[in-house]
Amino acid sequence: MTRLTHGDIQAGRLSAEALAENFADVAPPLDRQQALLAAQRCFYCYDAPCTTACPTGIDIPSFIKRISTDNLKGAATDILSANILGGSCARVCPTEVLCEGACVRNIDDDKPVQIGALQRYATDWVYRDGAQLFNRKPDTGKRIAVVGAGPAGLSCAHALAREGHEVVIFEARSKPGGLNEYGIAAYKVPDFAQAEIDWLLAIGGISLQPGYTLGINLDLQQLRENFHAVFLGLGLGAVNALGIVGEDLPGVRDAVDFIAELRQCTDLSTLPVGRRVLVIGGGNTAIDAAIQSRRLGAEEVTLVYRRGPESMSATVLEQAFARDEGVRIVHWAKPVAMRAHEGRLSGVEFEYTEVDGSGRLRGTGETFTLAADSVLKAIGQAFAPSPDAPALRHGRIAVDAEFHTTIERVWAGGDCVGGKLDLTVQAVEDGKRAAASIHQELSR
């Protein structure tokens, strides 16, 4: 392999074998013996706090009990009836702050039941064998348009198809899946997202139309005229900017674009990565971008966050994982300028931060500079409304308790409406609840 000069962003830093190992499944599945032993640790609580902590309300003690008796069909039905994307959620959910965080086994420093791993064990066979656990009801003659093939849209579409409605999903990208396909670290869901979606769509009554973007080649008013109902699962299409000097320099890019490119790359040895990578942000996207940069061969990866570790939206477990991967995390610093040498990025100047007496973040006036040939910005995303979008509230689509928007016969859910959590599992729940509301409306 050709030796690279300092400062270059290059492909091929690691061998194909090393890349394959680095991007293999980060959490290999349980085998039968491991699953049975893990299931035996569950107390099968009657008033289970783990179920309450799950945004989709999966009956966790029930499915674990079924695993203990080798009833995988019953366990998978329990899970997928509540969360149709239970396979991906088993892989990507922050279980340590949801179901496993609420597990009563945590008392006295005991370890929680491996709920996420057991959920994956219970569902993996479904996608492998193509087993259909659900059937469509007779055709109702009603047609619903779903805009966005992310978790919220897919959840809504499947629930409506089960009721016998015909659903057409319009998706801007070439593949369905949204965040699960384009926005999550490759080592968390290797070769899985599309298999799950293929199984979901196999119920019938759902057609997918890629290449359609609301406000560009898709008109909301026309959808309302041609369909009995419309569901908007648009996600967050805009990326926040730092607003500092040098942000447009070569080598500076959005972390979400980096992750999407990586997820769609068929040969990781062709994907460029810098020697010294700086990631700015404190959420899951920042962590995923930092770790994947290391696994692509970056020699130094530093993640910089403007507040302390307790304020990061990435979980404590994710932060520890990043450190274990060799990512340096710097707290209490904000970027103030990108620095360049001969027209290319050479580093980032940061200012130390602190919290004033009123709890507001402020700069201290003291600065430092970190060398970098690549910067990945992960400071959050925002909703990018089309001109004909429903009314907004706090920058996202306003909905009521039943996910109705301000436009008649138009519902919305997922990240584009916001709520308790910007997570796959919350988007699935939104889509499921919106589907129930749509079905009730169409059944009158």
DSSP state of 16: H
Q: Are the C-beta atoms of 432 and 155 separated by less than 8 Å?
A: yes
Per-residue pLDDT of the chain (444 residues; tens, 9 = 90+): 333 344 578 998 999 999 999 999 999 999 999 999 999 999 999 999 999 999 999 999 999 999 999 999 999 999 999 999 999 999 999 999 999 999 999 987 789 999 999 999 999 999 999 999 999 999 999 999 999 999 999 999 999 999 999 999 999 999 999 999 999 999 999 989 999 999 999 999 999 999 999 999 999 999 999 999 999 999 998 999 999 999 999 999 999 999 999 999 999 999 999 999 999 999 999 999 999 999 999 999 999 999 999 999 999 999 999 999 999 999 999 999 999 998 899 999 999 999 999 999 999 999 999 999 999 999 999 999 988 889 999 999 999 999 999 999 999 999 999 887 889 999 999 999 999 999 999 998
**Domain extent at residue 84:** 32-129
Residues ≥6 apart with Cβ < 8 Å to 152:
178, 231, 233, 235, 413, 414, 415, 416, 427, 428, 430, 431, 434
Residue 311 shares a structural domain with residue 347: yes
Is 430 a domain residue?
yes
Residue 120 shares a structural domain with residue 207: no
Name the domain boundary from 102, 129, 156: 129
> What's the pLDDT at 388?
87
Residue 363 shares a structural domain with residue 258: yes
> What's the pLDDT at 6?
44
Cα–Cα dist 384/211, whole Å: 17
Name the domain boundary from 129, 157, 187: 129
Is 211 a domain residue?
yes
Is 71 a domain residue?
yes
pTM of the model: 0.95
Residue 174 shares a structural domain with residue 52: no
Is 7 a domain residue?
no
Question: Total domain count for the chain?
Answer: 3
> What's the pLDDT at 4?
37
Is 10 a domain residue?
no
Is 279 a domain residue?
yes
Residue 362 shares a structural domain with residue 257: yes
> What's the pLDDT at 413?
98
Q: Identify the burial level of 401 via C-beta atoms within 10 angstroms of its C-beta, where 0-12 means exposed, 13-18 middle and 19 or more buried.
A: exposed
Is 16 a domain residue?
no
Is 14 a domain residue?
no
> What's the pLDDT at 419?
80
Residues ≥6 apart with Cβ < 8 Å to 206:
157, 158, 161, 167, 168, 169
Q: Are the C-beta atoms of 354 and 332 separated by less than 8 Å?
A: yes
Contacts by 217-221, CB closer than 8 A, 24 or more apart: 218/147, 218/170, 219/388, 220/386, 220/388, 220/389, 220/407, 220/410, 221/388
Residue 106 shares a structural domain with residue 123: yes
Residue 323 shares a structural domain with residue 250: yes
Name the domain boundary from 129, 159, 180: 129
Residue 196 shares a structural domain with residue 268: no
Q: What is the CATH number of the domain that holds 369?
A: 3.50.50.60
